[in-house]
Amino acid sequence: MNVAETREALSELVGGIQPGDPLPPERDLAARLSVSRTTLRKAIAELVSIGRLVRRHGVGTFIAGPKLAQALSATSFTEDMLARGFEPGARTLSARTRSAGAVLGRRLEVSPESEVLRVYRLRLADRDPMAIEELHVPSALVPGLSGDDLASHSFYALLEQCYGVRIATGVQALEPTVTTPEESELLRVPVHSPAFLFERTSRTEDGQVVEFVRSVYRGDRYRIVAEIAPRG
Ligand code: GLP
């Protein structure tokens, strides 16, 4: 078997093992699949890179849990996590207010001089780091909102309850990326791990831009599932 065939056979074999359990010893796997240790190691490395296996340095290689299917919808991180039965969480890494400047001003449809609140948050599910979000919101929409508020509360819930602003629609772009050393440390993944880069612009029912968010989601924990629009 070549590496690709070995990867597929190994993937099937691994499917019968409980997530969180260790991968059986290499010599057993190589014998079971009748492949060399070199081919097996390459196949293992491929399964690690696509998130089927998790390598913990100095400990070993383990079967990864199932990935979370993330829809492209206007829901919040908190709503998504609650719907899955996880405890949502956030850690504010930094928060500051500054003028929008030309680029962000265009995205938020405000003047370059307008004040914008930028909050950088780590998002958690059952205390596990899942994503890093860089939120930009025009300050005029959320007077008094602080980074601390967003560590303990859902942004979308605060928007609705405290500011009477409801997000209705949005545009979301998705690109592949790899984690920087800083992101890797925060997300507790190896440097240059595959990840999803999202950019979302959300609007109210009457078209006002509420947020521009750039987020990095762990590639080993998520798969993106989108409804296909009906054929015209
Ligand atoms: C998702 C969206 C972000 C939004 C966030 C709000 O992660 N991609 O655009 O800002 O949810 O989450 P929460 O209401 O949990 O703070």
65-78 pLDDT, tens digit per residue, is 888 999 888 899 99
Domain assignment present for 231: no
Residues 58 and 104 in one domain: no
Nearest to 174 by CA among 110, 224, 105, 102: 224
- Ligand 1 atom nearest the C-alpha of 156 is 14
Closest atom of ligand 1 to 79 CA is 15
Q: Tell me, yes or no, whether 56 and 134 share the same domain.
A: no
Is 96 in the same domain as 139? Answer: yes
Together in a domain, 51 and 121: no
- Distance from Cα 118 to the centre of ligand 1, integer Å: 13
The CATH number of whichever domain residue 138 belongs to comes to 3.40.1410.10
Q: Are residues 73 and 110 in the same domain?
A: yes
| Distance of alpha carbon 101 from alpha carbon 138, whole angstroms | 12
Check whether residue 97 and residue 53 sit in a common domain.
no
Same domain assignment for residues 40 and 122: no
135 within domain boundaries: yes
Distance 125 CA to ligand 1 centre (A): 13
Alpha-carbon Rg for the chain in angstroms: 21
Structure confidence at residue 73 (pLDDT): 87
Whether residue 232 lies inside any domain: the answer is: no
Do 59 and 83 fall into the same domain? no
pLDDT value at residue 126: 92
Residue 134 falls inside a structural domain: yes
Which atom of ligand 1 is nearest to 215's Cα? 8
Residue 183 corresponds to which amino acid?
E
**Which protein residues are within 6 Å of ligand 1, measured from CB?**
76-78, 133, 135, 154-157, 200, 211, 213, 215
Q: Is residue 75 situated within a structural domain?
A: yes
- Identify the domain boundary among 48, 63, 78: 63
**Looking at the structure, do residues 105 and 145 belong to the same domain, yes or no?**
yes
From the CA of 76, give the closest atom in ligand 1. 11
Asked if 42 and 81 sit in the same domain, the reply is no
- The set of residues, in sequence order, having a beta carbon less than 8 Å from that of 74 and lying 6+ positions away, is 167, 168, 169, 170, 202
CA of 79 to the centre of ligand 1 (A): 9
Residue of 73, 76, 141 to mutate, ligand 1, most atoms within 8 A of C-beta: 76
Distance (angstroms) between ligand 1 centre and the Cα of 69 equals: 16
* Structural domain count of the chain: 2
Query: Are 46 and 101 members of one domain?
Result: no
In angstroms, the CA 86 to CA 127 distance is 9
- 94 inside domain: yes
CATH of the domain at 45: 1.10.10.10
Q: Are residues 123 and 9 in the same domain?
A: no
Instruction: Check: CB of residue 52 under 8 Å from CB of residue 16.
Output: no
**Using a CB cutoff of 8 Å and minimum separation of 24, what contacts does 48-52 make?**
49/194, 50/194, 51/194, 51/219, 51/220, 51/221, 52/11, 52/14
Chain-centroid distance of CA 177 in Å reads 11
Look at residue 172 in the predicted model and tell me its pLDDT.
Answer: 94
Q: What are the beta bridge partners of residue 127?
A: none
Q: How far apart are CA 37 and CA 46, in angstroms?
A: 14
- Find, among 56, 69, 63, the residue nearest to 11 by Cα: 63
Q: Give the burial class of 44: count Cβ atoms within 10 A of its Cβ; 0-12 exposed, 13-18 middle, 19 or more buried.
A: buried
Distance 42 CA to ligand 1 centre (A): 38
Residues of the chain with pLDDT under 50: none
pLDDT for position 55: 85
Is 153 part of any domain? yes
Q: How far is CA 161 from CA 78, 128, 153, 156, 157, in A?
A: 15, 27, 11, 9, 6
Q: Range of 178's domain?
A: 68-225
